[in-house]
Amino acid sequence: MNTLLQSIAAGRAVAREDLGPLLALFEPGDQEALFKAAYAMKLKQVGPKVYFRGIIEYSNICEKNCYYCGIRRDNRKVRRFQMTREEILGAAKWAHASRYGSIVLQGGERQDKKHAEFIEDILRVVKRETNGELGITLSLGEQPRDTFERWFAAGGHRYLLRIETSNPRLYAKLHPADHSHAARLQCLDDLKAIGYQVGTGVMIGLPDQTLDDLASDIEFFRERDIDMIGMGPYIVHSETPLAAEMPDFAEKARGQLDLALRMIAVTRLYLRDVNIASTTALQALDAQGREMGLQAGANIIMPNITDTKYRDAYQLYENKPCLDENAALCRNCLQRRVESVGETIGFGEWGDSPHFQKRTGS
Ligand code: SAH
Ligand code: SF4
């Protein structure tokens, strides 16, 4: 086995300068050893429990035009939708009745007042109708600080906003000129100052992204004292400008999956006590992708609880799995999948990030 891995498996802490070399370990034997070390760290820090966050992909209407995303504003081939208030509340109640500790409300980015009010109302009603029991994460892009504040006051307590890459030059290549890296950073600062549990993440395997970039991403998570990590492989969507940069994606898929799993493992070894999601994009590359993520150190899964009639219109990337599986099927299938790798599910628990609890003394 690689000597660096040997010392880490024997208990030496992972240092900043180890991140790049660990991410580069693509030999199958080394990768397995890396995943094993990360899994041991997960057991020690957060235990063998997996928490479910039922994700409601409530709208694909988006003001932004990110070059990689299938629901970007200029993709005219997408049928735009927004779930009704009743549909969203119905999904939230289903999650509560199914003893999911929390939900994630995700959608395209809209900064108008009407939208802010719509979400605020949903948050208050969900909190009221679930006796404050259902945790709520928001993933609704960049917003003015006062919107973040209103949503927090109404009951949102976690927020996921991926930085996409910590490298500002790469960020600039992936977005139109009016999409600002600095504005994203400001949002992360605002969310933390308001009191949210803050989640961020990156896409892994982007065109022109280097292992050094990914190592810097992990350091970025540490410097910013991030509580939750949601990151996954970059997957081409053919109706986007970035697709032309990776015409050979099909041949690269296996490598993308492996790299994403190593990113999870190295992040677990370096950050230790954060929540890390095993994202659906992993499963788009391999039917067992999410189980692999759990075995590489992730501890969160986000089952899709969006009504199946909307799912094909919410494709950020291609080959999204479970397009035709309703929420109940998804629950059973995931429970089986999680238990098949020897883990248990924290039903009815919020499963807050231990890092957040330590950071805030809560
Ligand atoms: N509009 C919100 C939330 C929805 S997008 C936002 O942007 O924050 C959620 C995430 O999907 C993005 O942060 C991005 O990392 C991911 N995503 C978009 N297109 C993708 C692609 N082609 N491959 C993999 N992930 C993608
Ligand atoms: Fe909109 Fe988010 Fe997609 Fe960017 S990544 S186009 S903000 S949905």
Q: Structural domain tally of the chain? A: 1
Domain extent at residue 142: 2-360
| Ligand 2 mutation pick, 80, 159, 316, max ligand atoms within 8 A of CB | 316
Written as one letter, the residue type at 308 is T
pLDDT digits (tens, 9 = 90+) for 50-86: 999 999 999 999 999 999 999 999 999 999 999 999 9
Answer yes or no: are the C-beta atoms of 337 and 291 closer than 8 Å: yes
Atom of ligand 1 nearest to the CA of 164: 15
Of all residues in the chain, what percent carry a pLDDT higher than 70? 100
pLDDT digits (tens, 9 = 90+) for 150-178: 999 999 999 999 999 999 999 999 999 99
Q: Binning pLDDT at 50, 70 and 90, where does residue 130 land?
A: very high
Question: 3-state class of 158 per DSSP?
Answer: strand
Mean pLDDT of the chain: 94
Q: In 3D, which of 296, 289, 299, 264 has the Cα closest to residue 47?
A: 299
**Confidence (pLDDT) at 69:** 98
Taking CB atoms and a 6 Å cutoff, what residues make up the pocket around ligand 1?
68-69, 106, 108-109, 139, 141, 161-162, 164, 203, 232, 234-235, 237, 281, 316-317
Distance between Cα 109 and ligand 2 center (Å): 6
Atom of ligand 2 nearest to the CA of 316: 3
**Confidence (pLDDT) at 1:** 67
Q: Binning pLDDT at 50, 70 and 90, where does residue 132 land?
A: very high
Distance between Cα 230 and ligand 1 center (Å): 10
**Confidence (pLDDT) at 355:** 86
Which residues, 6 or more positions from 310, have their beta carbon under 8 angstroms from its beta carbon?
57, 81, 83
Which H helix or E strand runs over 135?
A: strand 135-139
Task: Report which of residues 328 and 255 the model is more confident about.
Answer: 255
**Confidence (pLDDT) at 227:** 95
Q: Is the pLDDT confidence value at 342 over 90?
A: no
Residue matched to tokens 């890092």: 355
- Cα angle 34, 206, 15 (rounded to 5 degrees) comes to 35
Residue matched to tokens 């898929």: 253
Residue 98 Rama label (left phi>0; alpha psi -120 to 50; beta): alpha
pLDDT digits (tens, 9 = 90+) for 81-92: 999 999 999 999
Answer yes or no: are the C-beta atoms of 165 and 201 closer than 8 Å: no
Q: Which residue minimizes the CA distance to atom 18 of ligand 1? A: 69
Q: What are 57's strand-pairing partners?
A: 106
**Confidence (pLDDT) at 321:** 79
Q: Which CATH number do you get for residue 149?
A: 3.20.20.70
Written as one letter, the residue type at 344 is T
Distance between Cα 232 and ligand 2 center (Å): 15
pLDDT digits (tens, 9 = 90+) for 192-239: 999 999 999 999 999 999 999 999 999 999 999 999 999 999 999 999
Give the ligand with the smallest distance to the CA of 60: 2
Q: Is the pLDDT confidence value at 40 over 90?
A: yes
| Ligand 1 mutation pick, 53, 140, 203, max ligand atoms within 8 A of CB | 203
Please give the Cα distance from 100 to 96 (Å, whole number).
Answer: 6
